[in-house]
Structure 1
Amino acid sequence: MRITKFVVLLLMSGLSGSLLAQTTAGQIREATLKFLDEFATEQASAGYKVAYESGSIDSRVALAECESPLTVEFSGDPWKSTSPTLQVSCEGNRPWRMFVTASVSIHGPALVATRPLTRGERITADLVTHQPVEINASRRGAITETQEAVGMEVRRSINAGALITPDMLSAPAAVERGDHVIITARSGGFSVSSRGKALASAGIGEQVLVENLRSSRTVKGNVVGPGHVEIPM
């Protein structure tokens, strides 16, 4: 009888141990720090310096044991926030996920204006320069490559030395209101073209209303190049 009870206790003890197997706060923190370290190393190779710290994790956290390495990824854009959220998840038989807020600072060269810029001015290479800044301190992002700005138009005035963010610039109009354009109706490998007049201004990739000069019909098409509007059939 005593032997039977002893065996039962051993079985219950083993079962209890498997049920109590868990992923601890320390393991979660270790996974997030490893992910952030890999992110910092990757950005360093591109010329950016990343400082980071994992957010606090309640030491009482105990989630189901994960059979595979924990998966960590940004749930937001770390280039637009100094406090991005990390999603930590387990993809095993007992899947789970949780979110951890991290502190991330990305320093590197970004474009600033070399002089005051006025609305409507076209950006040329001499109007911008690189300066080291905390790139993700601006929720509006930053422009890091000169070619991303050259040829764009200033949407509103920019002070000398100010960080240039994407929302400050816009693509110049490829079609101006009143311009005569080529309208191409396309379906697969078949296309037919006619002349038209733009009823508004628009950039490449934007939609615009045009008047077909032959039929006087007004249609909406996509601007695919300067003076060219395409209508899918």
Structure 2
Amino acid sequence: MLRRTAFLLCVLLAGPGAWAQTVLDPALIERVRQLAETAARAAAPPNTRVAVEIGALDARLRLAPCRQVQPYLPPGMSAWGRSRIGLRCTDGVARWNVTLPVRVAVFGRAVVASGPLPAGVNLSQEHLALADIDIAAEAGAVFTDPALLIGRTLSRPLGAAEAVRAPTLKSRQWFAAGETVQVQAVGPGFSVVSEARALSAGLEGQEVRVRFESGRISSGRAVGERRVELML
């Protein structure tokens, strides 16, 4: 209550002209652009181009004048695609904190469908092509080598020139329940390899339980042909 009263008092003392329109200073917009570009480039593959499109604040906002506005990337906010950059007033009549919409495109060469492809198709070389696309336009990793996709199966249809992304592929089964698998236990500064029996089918990237000869049961991640990774 005291904070709210003090805030209202500051507004009254500042007078009716204290509230500014939501038009941002060009220098601040440039700082936002640089911040977004830097964050995007840190996660972008080599030989890609980053382009940032700055949106606008909500027109209903009326922000108190501020001598120092600090742009920042909010925790957990994506550096690619449609995102938001935070703006906080650190020196002004009132301390405010808002977010500004941005769209970050990352252009690079990636594998795309050479034509419309139905779900369930087993990919071959003729189904695939390379093109320059915005790899940040959708979620999911893209591929730069068509050879890595030969024999993989699509989980959903793709349009012509649409990127082949990891979520569009069916998960591979690396081993069946009951098979002997190689388990690599990885910890800080060490790695130990041993054998165990899979208690369930090992689907690519998914958790699987294994039983060691001692009878101990552990959970790891299926990472390859009869291979399980166990993080310690």
Q: Which has the larger radius of gyration?
A: 1
1:139-190 deviations in Å (ceiling 9; x for gaps): x3562x4159825843414445332233113563443334222457789879
Give, in whole Å, the separation in 1 of the partners of 2:20 and 2:197: 66
Q: Does structure 2 retain, via aligned residues, the 8 Å contact 1:199–1:208?
A: yes
Instruction: For residue 164 of structure 1, give the secondary structure of its aligned residue in structure 2.
Output: coil
Q: Does 1:99 align with 2:96?
A: no
Gaps of 5+ in 1: 1-15
Identity of aligned residues (%): 15
Give, in whole Å, the separation in 2 of the partners of 1:137 and 1:192: 39
Q: CA deviation at 1:26?
A: 4.0
Query: Could you state the TM-score of these two structures normalised by the residue count of structure 1?
Result: 0.58
Change (3 A) 1:109 1:181: closer
- State the match for 1:114 in structure 2: 114
Change (3 A) 1:203 1:190: closer
- State the match for 1:85 in structure 2: 84
Instruction: For residue 31 of structure 1, give the secondary structure of its aligned residue in structure 2.
Output: helix
1:176-213 deviations in Å (ceiling 9; x for gaps): 33422245778987979454244322335x3212345x
- State the match for 2:209 in structure 1: 209
Of residues 219, 222, 227, the one that matches 1:221 is 219
Change (3 A) 1:88 1:177: same
Which residue type is aligned with residue 62 of structure 2?
Answer: V
Instruction: For residue 162 of structure 1, give the secondary structure of its aligned residue in structure 2.
Output: coil
Give, in whole Å, the separation in 2 of the partners of 1:184 and 1:103: 40
- The count of corresponding residues between Structure 1 and Structure 2 is 208
Give, in whole Å, the separation in 2 of the partners of 1:59 and 1:193: 62
Q: Does structure 1 retain, via aligned residues, the 8 Å contact 2:186–2:230?
A: yes
Instruction: For residue 101 of structure 1, give the secondary structure of its aligned residue in structure 2.
Output: strand
Q: Does 1:34 align with 2:35?
A: no
Q: CA deviation at 1:100?
A: 2.2
Which residue type is aligned with residue 162 of structure 1?
Answer: E
The CA RMSD over aligned residues, in Å, is 4.8
Change (3 A) 1:53 1:195: closer
Instruction: For residue 203 of structure 2, give the secondary structure of its aligned residue in structure 1.
Output: coil
Q: Does structure 2 retain, via aligned residues, the 8 Å contact 1:109–1:130?
A: yes
Query: Could you state the TM-score of these two structures normalised by the residue count of structure 2?
Result: 0.58
Q: CA deviation at 1:222?
A: 1.0
Q: Does structure 2 retain, via aligned residues, the 8 Å contact 1:155–1:169?
A: yes
- State the match for 1:179 in structure 2: 179
Which residue type is aligned with residue 54 of structure 1?
Answer: G
- State the match for 1:164 in structure 2: 164
Gaps of 5+ in 2: 1-12
Change (3 A) 1:101 1:191: closer
Q: Does structure 2 retain, via aligned residues, the 8 Å contact 1:51–1:105?
A: yes
1:90-146 deviations in Å (ceiling 9; x for gaps): 34596431122345666554431236476384x6777533323455544x3562x41
Matches within 5 A, 1:115-154: 116=117, 119=120, 121=122, 128-138=128-138, 140-141=139-140, 143=142, 145-147=143-145, 150=148, 153-154=152-153
